[in-house]
Amino acid sequence: MSKEKIILGIDPGTTIMGFGLIKVVGKTMQFLQLNELDLKKYDDHYLKLKLIFERTIELIETHHPDEIAIEAPFFGKNVQSMLKLGRAQGVAMAAGLSREVPITEYSPKKIKMAITGNGNASKEQVAKMLQSTLGLKTLPKNLDATDGLAAAVCHFYNEGRVEVGKSYSGWASFVKQNSLPTSKGGAKNNPIVDLRKNK
């Protein structure tokens, strides 16, 4: 019997957060959903972050994804934009980590390469390739949703490959990979405190 799993892909943003879900059965994938969280009408940055966190939790509790693939912010010239994008990605990751869903990050270039074979492909080219691959009848007006779906499909294509991006299986894994090294050259002296309630 083929093992089934669900992958949630997220394209984080403080204006629009795009997301898509695919179901994997054996070596085939099926489209489940793509949508977006529109945050344009909110002025408060912290409220936007709260909404991103809550929507991600809601997606996890509704669809029970086995894994999350998230687009990593690209390095732009605008530091303020980078900071906001990083925060948006961080709260989406925190939501996944709080529910112990493994997370893998992919650069925009890596996602475009996986979907179209061209790391410099446009959003439109990525959307069209997804439409063709997954048999989507229509494409959304905003392509942030297809960017989220693209992250999930990229994760499916990269499964089993080593060095696909940064992966975290939970809080302990995240802390271990992102701890500052101690004077002895390792993070092992930093205590990891597990704040989760016992299930």
> Crossing angle of helices 79-98/171-178, nearest 10°?
140
What is the rounded distance in angstroms from the CA atom of residue 32 to the CA atom of residue 63? 10
- Concerning whether 71 is annotated as a catalytic residue, the answer is yes
- Concerning whether 194 is annotated as a catalytic residue, the answer is no
Residues 6+ apart with CB under 8 A from 113: 119
What is the rounded distance in angstroms from the CA atom of residue 18 to the CA atom of residue 101? 18
Tokens of 83: 């900071």
Which one is catalytic: 11, 67, 105, 147?
11
Does the annotation place 71 within a ligand binding site?
Answer: yes
At residue 34, φ and ψ (nearest 5 deg) are -145, 145
Element (DSSP H or E) covering residue 137 = none
Which one is catalytic: 36, 67, 71, 147?
71
- Concerning whether 11 is annotated as a catalytic residue, the answer is yes
CA-atom Rg of the chain in angstroms: 17
Which residues face 25 on adjacent strands? Answer: 4, 28
What CA dihedral angle connects 72, 76, 79 and 85, to 10 degrees? -30
Which one is catalytic: 67, 105, 144, 147?
144
Does the annotation place 144 within a ligand binding site?
Answer: yes
Does the annotation place 38 within a ligand binding site?
Answer: no
Going by the annotation, the residues of the binding site for Mg(2+) are 11, 71, 144
Binding residues: 11, 71, 144
Residues designated as active site: 11, 71, 144
